[in-house]
């Protein structure tokens, strides 16, 4: 079953705008990761945030984690056409099995 639910399911923005997508999960986690997938290709790792971290940055990406609300958000600033993709969150349970469960995904379209 899906661990994570993401919203929105789809998002269209203009080039240069910021995009925010959210991920909610159900059980305690060890860490949460965000991935990008371009048009049915393999997934590219974006960022990992551990359960004891609240915010993390990587270039134009900002990820927050609120373990009390069991939610995370991914912010992409100054978006460009190359950011058009599907974005997934993945969570590993605190039991440390290294089995990652993926969210439902957000399809982002950046319009020129």
Partner 1 sequence: SAVISQKPSRDICQRGTSLTIQCQVDSQVTMMFWYRQQPGQSLTLIATANQGSEATYESGFVIDKFPISRPNLTFSTLTVSNMSPEDSSIYLCSVVTSGNTIYFGEGSWLTVV
Q: How far is the CB of 75 from partner 1 (least distance, A)?
A: 20
Q: What angle do CA 70, 73, 6 make, to 5 degrees?
A: 75
Q: Which is nearer to partner 1, 45 or 57 (CB)?
A: 45
CB-based contact 9:107 (threshold 8 Å): yes
**Nearer to partner 1 (CB atom), residue 14 or residue 98:** 98
Q: How far apart are CA 61 and CA 55, in angstroms?
A: 11
Residues 63, 21: Cα–Cα separation, whole Å? 10
Q: Shortest gap between Cβ of 32 and partner 1 (angstroms)?
A: 11
Nearest CA to 94 among 26, 44, 36?
Answer: 26
Minimum CB distance to partner 1 smaller for 68 or for 96: 96
Give me the least distance between CB of 87 and partner 1, in Å please. Answer: 11
Half-sphere exposure of 45 (CA within 13 A, CB side): 7
In the bound complex, what is the minimum distance in angstroms from residue 24's beta carbon to partner 1?
Answer: 14
Applying CB under 8 A, which residues contact partner 1? 2, 30-31, 33, 35, 40-45, 48, 88, 90, 92, 98-105
């Amino acid at each position: 079953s899906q661990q994570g639910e993401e919203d929105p399911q789809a998002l269209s923005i203009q080039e240069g705008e910021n995009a925010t997508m959210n991920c909610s999960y159900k059980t305690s986690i060890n860490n949460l990761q965000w991935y990008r997938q371009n048009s049915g290709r393999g997934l590219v790792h974006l960022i990992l945030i551990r359960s004891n971290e609240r915010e993390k940055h990587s270039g134009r990406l900002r990820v927050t984690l609120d373990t009390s609300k069991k939610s995370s958000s991914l912010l992409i600033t100054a978006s460009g056409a190359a950011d058009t993709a599907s974005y997934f969150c993945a969570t590993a349970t605190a039991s440390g099995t290294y089995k990652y469960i993926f969210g439902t995904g957000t399809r982002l379209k950046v319009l020129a």
